[in-house]
Amino acid sequence: MKMHKAAQVLVLGLLFFGSVMAQVTVDVANESDLTTAINDANSDSMNAYILELTADIELTASLPLVTSEITIQPDPMVAPGVRIFRSSMGGTPNFRIFTIGANGTEKGNLTLIDLVLENGFVQGGTARGGCIEVRDNGALDANRTRVHAIRCTFRNNQVLGSGSSNAHGQGGAIYGGFDSFVLLDDCIFDNNKCQGSNTSFNNAGQGAGGALFFNRSGLGQSVAAFITGCTFENNTAQGGNSNTTEGEAVGGALCSYEAKITLSGSTFINNQAKGGSGGSMGGLARGGAIFIQDPEASANQTITNCRF
């Protein structure tokens, strides 16, 4: 791992810190380098870090929480499309690729540019964000936890609720916690999946948002999501199976519970919401592409120039 251009460039107008920060750029060649660079960034409150990947990064363990200002992108000498992926080797544990923030105690700001993020998998209880979890901010203030993905592909990420009845799967690729920012520009979401828990004699879990799930707390703190020029293809929300009450599925590509969403110029192809089976009725399935639950939808949602 090589650090260069240290603290020479000023970064203006940062949404996270709201102030001028110096910039440190670090070359990253492998999993160890990436882990070290994130830890270094988290311990350095004075600098924003740019991590430039010189090769694909295969992950065998979860990365540190992101609680600082970090941008990850290919090295200028490397073609766009560098992969960060959970290894498929036997014995690799289940984990998501990135977790941003620490549920209100520490905020984070992660920007991803020209990357492919694959094979994140979260299972157990109510499972959230197979690739990225933007954690609940915990307070209404200007410094929201944030992710900004630009020209990235999210592929084959999954969440699986399990271990109890009513254990839900929320956001196969990205979960946006309340009072966070999610910005997505020209991204592709392909073959991501959320699934609720299967049970024998109790209520099965809900599958909500095959690719994206945005949440809101009881205090009225909502996600602000801006989605522009994205493609959603072959994503699935799957309700859990049960002999009694099957789980419902909502939002094959995107599910929002009272989030503030601006969605424009995006395309939805072959996304599905599939209710659970096993009982006499079958689980409800709503919103093959998008499901929005919001009593003030006209005020909170703006959807323009999209194809379904």
Does residue 6 contact residue 31 with C-beta atoms inside 8 Å? no
% the chain with pLDDT above 90: 63
The answer to whether residue 105 sits within a structural domain is: yes
> What's the pLDDT at 35?
98
List, as one string, the DSSP characters of 124-173: SBSEE-SSEEE----S-SSS--EEEEES-EEES-EEE-BSSTT--EE-SS
The answer as to whether 34 is a domain residue is no
pTM for the model stands at: 0.90
Q: Look up the domain containing 186 and give its range.
A: 80-304
* pLDDT per position as a tens digit, 183-210: 999 999 999 999 988 887 678 888 999 9
How many other C-beta atoms can be found within 10 angstroms of the C-beta atom of residue 87?
A: 14
Number of independent structural domains in the chain: 1
CA R_g for the chain: 19
Within-domain flag for 188: yes
Residue at 41 is within a domain: no
pLDDT of residue 263: 97
Backbone angles phi, psi at 150, to 5 degrees: -125, 120
CB 244 within 8 A of CB 280: no
Q: Assign 157 to helix, strand or coil.
A: coil
Beta carbons of 98 and 139 less than 8 angstroms apart: no
Reduced to 3 states, what is the DSSP secondary structure of residue 107? coil
> Domain for residue 215, yes or no?
yes
Is 73 among the domain residues?
Answer: no
CB 190 within 8 A of CB 153: yes
Q: Which residues of the chain have pLDDT under 70?
A: 2-20, 103-105, 137-143, 201, 217-222, 279-280, 295-299
Cα dihedral angle (75, 59, 88, 208), rounded to 10 degrees?
-90
Domain assignment present for 191: yes
pLDDT per position as a tens digit, 132-181 = 999 876 555 556 789 999 999 999 999 999 877 778 999 999 999 877 88
Domain annotation covers residue 43: no
